[in-house]
Amino acid sequence: MKPRVLPGFGLSFGYTIVYLCLIVLLPLSALVLKTSELTLAHFWQVVTGERVMAAYRLTFGASLIAALINLFAGLLVAWVLVRYPFPGKRLIDALVDLPFALPTAVAGIALTTLYAPNGLIGQYLAPLGIQVAFKPLGVVVALTFIGLPFVVRTVQPVLQDLEAELEEAAACLGANRWQTFRKVIFPAALPALLTGFTLAFARAIGEYGSVIFIAGNIPLESEIVPLLIIGKLEQYDYAGATAIATVMLAISFVLIFVINLIQWWHGRRHGMRK
Amino acid sequence: MRKLGRLIAPLLLASLSAAALAGPELLNVSYDVMRDFYKDLNPAFQKAYKAQTGQDVTVQQSHGGSGKQARAVIDGLEADVITMNMPPDIDALYDKAKLIPENWAARLPNASLPFTSLQVLIVRKGNPKGIKDWSDLAKPGVQVVMPNPKVTGNGRYSYLAAWGYALRQPGGNPQKAAEFVGAILKNVPVLDSGGRAATTTFMQRQIGDVLLTFENEAEMIAREFGRGGFEVVYPSLSVRAEPPVTVVDKVVDKKGTRKEAEAYLKFLWSPAAQEIAAQNYLRPQDPAVFKKYAAQFPAVKLFTVDEVFGGWRNAQKTHFDDGGTFDQIYTKK
């Protein structure tokens, strides 16, 4: 153990653990407890049903695609906002936060209106045979919308802190632009990118309000997992609902944990203090 | 979020304790569609009750999806009276928390149904697809919009109406009914998660040729979107929609509001309340009031869930619980 600079570790650590237990672990244990009403065989039967599996695929698949889109789009937006002065920059910057601020149901209704076959965007896609609303594609669109701010807001400060001198030094040493990006900028931004990606992904998995209007809710085709949970609740099958929720939680936790591991490993490799 | 606010507000108000307010206070928990009806009814009740007993009563309201509201009451929302869009949502109060006696429905007239409705077909102006009955919905090339039977009472009624229609056709049997309802569901491009969402899909997004919903929802559509865009088609046979009411015994006994809560529900059968129901396009139980408003309620042959499906519990179990006919229709493809 290194001697610590700040005193009071014991107190603050204790406080952290208690707080996390109350706010995070307690509701989660209630969830698992409710699930334990089921026998293991029944639990397995509930969480591996054909429709549930199809919904897992849609929810996790669409969330992953949406988070990947946001990874690239978010980096680009953050880059533009940090590096280039242009008129209306403050406004654009504020616009990025809009998906945060908008109530999800409002976002869902607005997106459905846009992408419905008679909507502003949908009417041009319909003749091309592309239907967004009420199809899995719509789910991806909605999840991309709500996830964008996460990546932008996590990468922005990192890019801001990255001095231009670094890039200039790289250029002086003969690096071309691509090399500068690959060897200087990207490694510095990667931890933040991964954090943003994780946040966008995690948020998308649990998303209900913005997706429910644009998904078609057709069994085996366009049902998201939260809808199935509501379906169980409508039968007053609390245990079945929490079983599906618990599985979602477990999968999410594993995925987020893996991404955190990657970050940690990356940090060690590049000798950055985490 | 606003919904949550509406749910929490009465809780906060209720916790302010009745002592701070004049007279007792009732919390009326009901499903979404009842909002307008109770908004009109409450002042009438308050006036009548004051005239009768000299006492002021305040009525707080909470609205949301039927099942969601029932679960909120089971989980401790202190509702004095509750209105749901189908009996199983009230049965659940007995099943899950013993908040009411098992025979709750027998305590008020008409099995605790102050009014009824039915499932109708709403089509585009001029009825371009010539839709007249349930059988037209199973034809290829007809797009049907309905809310999801797994998560809405409204969708369950439509499903049961189509099923009952198929059973009552010459040579009808459960096998044929399943095929018939399956053919209709094949024509459904989106199963919205709420009745109002299905209306939006049909009216605003202009998706589908026909919308399946309650008769009283048709009036909402007219008020919201104007009468020029759609027509109501009454099928040859439909299912009776049964929105029951009950006092929540455990809550009223704890709060000491039984007298007021019972008076409130009894008032629903008074001619004045029956008129308010008719004005909201809910079919009144009072024959005199029904006659007065007969022009807006075309005669339709109706069956009840009890008659065709052997009761609500049976219908729910056979058709909508996991592994029921609805699930089978989709997983057999």
DSSP type of residue B118: E
- Separation CA A199–CA A207 (nearest Å): 12
Task: Point out the residue among B193, B321, B333 whose CB comes nearest to the CB of A217.
Answer: B193
Residue B20 has pLDDT above 50, yes or no: no
Give B181-196 pLDDT, tens digit per residue. Answer: 999 999 999 999 988 8
Q: Which residues, 6 or more positions from A256, have their beta carbon under 8 angstroms from its beta carbon?
A: A198, A201, A202
Q: Do A105 and B207 touch (CB under 8 A)?
A: no
Contacts of B68 in chain A (CB under 8 A): 233
Contact between B145 and A133 under an 8 Å Cβ cutoff? The reply is no
Complete DSSP assignment for A93-119? HHHHTHHHHS-HHHHHHHHHHHHSTTS
Phi-psi region of B323 (alpha: psi -120 to 50; beta: other; left: phi over 0): left
Contacts of B71 in chain A (CB under 8 A): 233, 236
Mean pLDDT lowest among A176-190, B89-103, B226-240: A176-190
- The nearest alpha carbon in chain A to B187 belongs to A218
Q: Do B193 and A109 touch (CB under 8 A)?
A: no
- The nearest alpha carbon in chain A to B330 belongs to A219
Residue B69 CA, distance from chain mean position? 12
* Tokens 């056979």 -> residue: B318
Residue B104 has pLDDT above 80, yes or no: yes
Q: Do A231 and B96 touch (CB under 8 A)?
A: no
Q: Do B193 and A117 touch (CB under 8 A)?
A: no
Contacts of B148 in chain A (CB under 8 A): 217, 227, 231
Contacts of B95 in chain A (CB under 8 A): 236
Determine the pLDDT at residue A274.
40
Q: Which two tokens stand for residue B1?
A: 């979020």
Mean pLDDT lowest among A7-11, B101-105, B269-273, B312-316: A7-11
- Separation CA B112–CA B243 (nearest Å): 8
Determine the pLDDT at residue A100.
87
Give A155-195 pLDDT, tens digit per residue. Answer: 999 999 988 888 889 989 988 888 988 888 888 898 899 99
Determine the pLDDT at residue A273.
47
- Chain B residues near any Cβ of chain A (below 8 Å): 1, 67-68, 71, 92, 95-96, 148, 150-151, 188-193, 197, 200, 204-207, 316, 320-322, 327, 330-331, 333
Q: Do B205 and A133 touch (CB under 8 A)?
A: yes
Please give the angle made by the CA atoms of A249, A252 and A254, to the nearest 5 degrees: 110
Instruction: List the one residue out of B315, B297, B310 whose CA is nearest residue B214.
Output: B297
User: Chain A closest CA to B205's CA: distance in Å?
Assistant: 6
Q: Do B190 and A216 touch (CB under 8 A)?
A: yes
- The nearest alpha carbon in chain B to A131 belongs to B189
Q: Do B322 and A232 touch (CB under 8 A)?
A: yes
Q: What is the pTM of this model?
A: 0.88
Q: Do B205 and A227 touch (CB under 8 A)?
A: no
Contacts of A137 in chain B (CB under 8 A): none
DSSP type of residue A163: -
Contacts of A133 in chain B (CB under 8 A): 205
Residue B267 has pLDDT above 50, yes or no: yes
* Tokens 């099923």 -> residue: B163
CB pairs under 8 A between A and B: 76
User: Chain B closest CA to A25's CA: distance in Å?
Assistant: 21
Task: Point out the residue among B96, B197, B204 whose CB comes nearest to the CB of A236.
Answer: B96
Contact between B211 and B202 under an 8 Å Cβ cutoff? The reply is yes
Q: Do B189 and A134 touch (CB under 8 A)?
A: yes
Contacts of A226 in chain B (CB under 8 A): none
Task: Point out the residue among B95, B151, B316 whose CB comes nearest to the CB of A231.
Answer: B151
Q: Do B193 and A216 touch (CB under 8 A)?
A: no
- The nearest alpha carbon in chain A to B191 belongs to A217
pLDDT, average across residues B44-56: 95
Residue B321 has pLDDT above 50, yes or no: yes
Q: Do A109 and B190 touch (CB under 8 A)?
A: no
User: Chain A closest CA to B3's CA: distance in Å?
Assistant: 11
User: Chain B closest CA to A64's CA: distance in Å?
Assistant: 24
- Separation CA A35–CA A31 (nearest Å): 6
User: Chain B closest CA to A95's CA: distance in Å?
Assistant: 21
Give B286-295 pLDDT, tens digit per residue. Answer: 999 999 999 9
Task: Point out the residue among A109, A212, A233 whose CB comes nearest to the CB of B71.
Answer: A233
Q: What is the mean pLDDT of chain B?
A: 92
Contact between B286 and B269 under an 8 Å Cβ cutoff? The reply is yes
If one counts every other C-beta atom within 10 angstroms of the C-beta of residue B204, the result is: 16
- Separation CA B242–CA B260 (nearest Å): 24
Contacts of B193 in chain A (CB under 8 A): 212, 217, 227, 230
Residue B154 has pLDDT above 80, yes or no: yes
Contacts of B191 in chain A (CB under 8 A): 216-218
Tens digit of each residue's pLDDT, chain A (274 residues): 566 677 788 888 999 999 999 998 888 888 888 888 889 999 999 999 999 999 999 999 999 999 999 999 999 999 999 988 999 999 999 999 999 889 988 999 999 999 998 899 999 998 999 999 999 999 999 999 999 999 999 999 999 998 888 888 998 998 888 898 888 888 889 889 999 999 999 999 989 989 999 999 999 999 999 999 999 999 999 999 999 999 998 988 898 888 888 888 877 877 654 4
User: Chain A closest CA to B206's CA: distance in Å?
Assistant: 7
- The nearest alpha carbon in chain B to A224 belongs to B193
